[in-house]
Amino acid sequence: MRLAELSKRSGVSTATIKYYLRERLLPQGERITATQAEYGEEHLRRLRLVRALIQVGRMPVATAREVLEAAEDESLSQNSRMGTAIWALPHGAEPDQDDPQAARAREQVDTLLERMGWAYCQELGDTSPAYRTLTAAIASLARLGYPHDTEHLLLQARLAAELAVADLDLVEAYDTPAERIEAAVALTVLYEPVLLSLRRLAQTEESGRRFGE
């Protein structure tokens, strides 16, 4: 398809598509004349992912490019490409190395991974950004004197494991490794606000039941 059709089918203006091409967020089309290029379904798919990252996830262009490069690195296995792309997504605060609570939080995270039997995560340890974000979050809870016992974290981890099975089922429904990696990245970004808003709605409901008139 030509640029005009790519724009029409994706709902992204031609000016924005040209910007994404210049910024290398979208691979060049196949040049057919000096001024025209031909685009395929993979451009359409990539455009959806770029919009998910930039327009919905409000990601800086440089970060989005990093995520896309990781997703495309053909020297890696499917699982590594998926993992590398997701690791390149923005994460929360990093633990403060000087905080004595951070060392204790780290032990707690290790216990949690052990008890969940999350062997892949144990192997990755603190090279995983999510491991570090979790450590920082638990250290904050501890430093501010709020509850953070392992049983409560275990409950959350078990629910997260159920979610992950459903999330990966969505990903596996795509046919090719390229589509699966793109879907995994997009769904990670797009489902986080779904999860957080459902949690707040559920809290409103539970609070109404307990404390409402």
Taking CB under 8 A as the criterion, which residues in 42-71 touch a copy of itself? 48, 51-52, 56
Please tell me whether residue 103 binds a copy of itself under the rule CB under 8 A: no
Please tell me whether residue 134 binds a copy of itself under the rule CB under 8 A: yes
Please tell me whether residue 208 binds a copy of itself under the rule CB under 8 A: yes
Size of the site for a copy of itself (CB under 8 A): 84
d(CA 170, CA 164): 10
Please tell me whether residue 213 binds a copy of itself under the rule CB under 8 A: yes
Q: Measured from the CB of residue 194, what is the shortest distance to a copy of itself in angstroms?
A: 5
Please tell me whether residue 172 binds a copy of itself under the rule CB under 8 A: yes
Nearer to a copy of itself, 63 or 188 (CB): 188
Cβ-based neighbours of 13, under 8 Å, separated by 6 or more: 7
Please tell me whether residue 75 binds a copy of itself under the rule CB under 8 A: no
Please tell me whether residue 160 binds a copy of itself under the rule CB under 8 A: yes
**Given the rule CB under 8 A, which of 19-27, 33-41, 64-72, 148-156 is the region that contacts a copy of itself?**
148-156
Q: Would strands 37-38 and 30-31 be described as parallel, antiparallel, or unpaired? A: antiparallel
Give, as ranges, the residues between 105 and 124 that touch a copy of itself (CB under 8 A). Answer: 113, 116, 118-121, 124
* C-alpha angle 161-164-130 in degrees, rounded to nearest 5: 80
d(CA 106, CA 102): 6
